[in-house]
Amino acid sequence: MKLGVLVETEDGLTWDRWRRIVAAVERLGFESLWLSDHFLSLSSSERESLECWVALTVAAAETTRVRLGPLVSPMTFRPPALLARMAVAVDHLSGGRLVLGVGAGWNDVEHRAYGIPYPPARERLDLLAEGIEVIRRLCEEGPAHYVGRYYQLDGADLQPKPRQRPRLPLLIGGMGERRTLPLVARYADEWNLTTADPALYRAKSERLAACCREIGRDPATIARSVAVGLLVGRDAAELGARCEVLRRLLPRLAPLSLGEIPEAMRAVGWVVGTPAEVAAQLRALAAAGVERAMLQLTDQTDLAALELVAHEVMPELH
């Protein structure tokens, strides 16, 4: 299993923190680095935030090997043609290391706060499907083909010209069986689920395989990944210290004792425990078919947690 690191842009991320994380992820051998694409924190509207795509640009310039991507960019935030242009630019800057993660959007509060329309779920999923079509054509066939096809304009300069374009990998996250998984089956190069539960993952994976069979696609052509929170400590004392920090960062944990926090985080889909216990939980996901796990670094100053994972968990997964 490959290990990546996930950082929430909206939960206090600063340029200093981000650049330290970028350098650590590159140095420690993590396979990938991912950023949420949100404008407001669910925990506190006062927390600092970085713009996802600007931060990805910095990471692309300051790394040489890790894969990069948003997890995920809501199609409601930016016109798909603009998102495609941004993604291609960052991909070129990184030397072809970008994975474009897209979703329908879900946080109505941040949409209202920034004056962004937030249509009903059905319409958002329609926008996602339409946006993916636009992005695919722009990235793979070029703007001339797109303009000619969608706007029926004439002229020599607008005629599609044969050109080899590298395929920009597309990641779609979610588990909805009526709309999301059929979209994954049709369009995605990678499917991402937020869970550490192998049974849930298997059930949704079987449903995705059925969606693939319905359209004649081999489900093995879709890479599989999960995004999971991380709470790790060498021993009870170190785990307790991280629980104390976590309780300050996540207001919903305030009523819990330190001893109750590990089980509470397991219940919401985190990997929790000593390095050996975390490795065992990740191996169970790998046995269910997961190829990549993005571990969320909730305490963005805790580079020691990344060191611990790199030295004591990562070697157990090869």
Residue 45 has pLDDT above 70, yes or no: no
pTM of the predicted model as reported, rounded to 2 decimal places: 0.91
When the pLDDT of each residue in the chain is averaged and rounded to a whole number, the result is: 91
Contact (Cβ atoms closer than 8 angstroms) between residue 100 and residue 69: yes
Residue 44 has pLDDT above 50, yes or no: yes
Residue 252 lies in a domain: no
- Helix, strand, coil: what percent of the chain each, to 5? 50, 15, 35
Per-residue pLDDT at 110: 86
Cα separation, 20 vs 134, in Å, equals: 35
> Residues 97, 100, 106, 107: is their CA dihedral positive or negative?
positive
Residue 227 lies in a domain: yes
Contact (Cβ atoms closer than 8 angstroms) between residue 174 and residue 103: yes
Per-residue pLDDT at 167: 81
Residue 256 lies in a domain: no
DSSP 32-85: EEEE---SS-SS-TTS----HHHHHHHHHHH-SS-EEEES-EETTTS-HHHHHH
Residue 102 lies in a domain: yes
Residue 159 has pLDDT above 60, yes or no: no
Cα separation, 274 vs 203, in Å, equals: 28
Residue 262 lies in a domain: no
Cα separation, 50 vs 157, in Å, equals: 38
Residue 255 lies in a domain: no
Per-residue pLDDT at 114: 86
What CATH number is given to the structural domain containing 192? 3.20.20.30
Residue 13 lies in a domain: yes
Cα separation, 131 vs 84, in Å, equals: 9
| Domain with 73 in it | 2-245+271-317
Q: State what percent of residues in the chain have pLDDT above 90.
A: 81
Residue 111 lies in a domain: yes
For the chain, the domain total comes to 1
